[in-house]
Amino acid sequence: MTIQTGDKLPDATFVKVTESGPEQVNTADYFKGRRVALFSVPGAFTPTCSAKHLPGYVDKAGELKAKGVDEIVCTAVNDAFVMGAWGKSAGANDSVTMLADGNGDFAEAVGLTMDGKAFGMGKRGQRFSMIVNDGVVEQLNVEAPGEFKVSSADHMLEQL
């Protein structure tokens, strides 16, 4: 079942790369008491994700934070090292936190997986964005297959 506005985020674990190595991040702890703009991409270093999706959030980080967002998070079904390298190459380290959903557990728990086998990618997370306020989904934007509109930073800014 797909997560809906008003639902609490399911219990899942992300991994992020820190200066001291990979660190596990539990959703209940990480999103508690904060308003987070979270967006999911099908894969790090993929064309639309690298050319538009992540750069949009990097460019609009200040505007999102000015509208009450405490943190901006990017997630994908990639390992933490790939997510860390992608964030670094995109200049996202100071503006967007990269959280790896390496096994797709979060994407599966929120009911937003996609089958990327035709592209050699296996199970991935769909392209979506959400505002999470104290662990509860305040806004949810799920893209139609092949689209990039409602999960963009610009669209999220319009909603805030």
Active site residue 74: no
Tell me the per-residue pLDDT of 81-121, one tens digit each, with 9 for 90 and over: 999 999 999 999 889 999 999 999 999 999 998 776 777 66
> Which tens digits make up the pLDDT trace of 35-89?
999 999 998 888 777 778 899 999 999 999 999 999 999 999 999 999 999 999 9
Q: Which CATH superfamily is domain 13-159 in?
A: Glutaredoxin (3.40.30.10)
pLDDT, one tens digit per residue, over 15-26 is 998 889 999 999
Confidence of residue 140 (pLDDT cuts 50, 70, 90): very high
**Domain residue spans in the chain?**
13-159
Measured in residues, the chain has a length of 160
Specify which residues 18 forms β-bridges with.
Answer: 21
Q: Distance (Å, rounded) from C-alpha 69 to C-alpha 67?
A: 6
The residue annotated as part of the active site, out of 3, 36, 41, 49, is 49
Beta strand 35-40 pairing with 71-76: parallel
Residue 93, pLDDT score = 82
Estimate to the nearest angstrom the gap between the alpha carbon of 77 and the chain centroid: 10
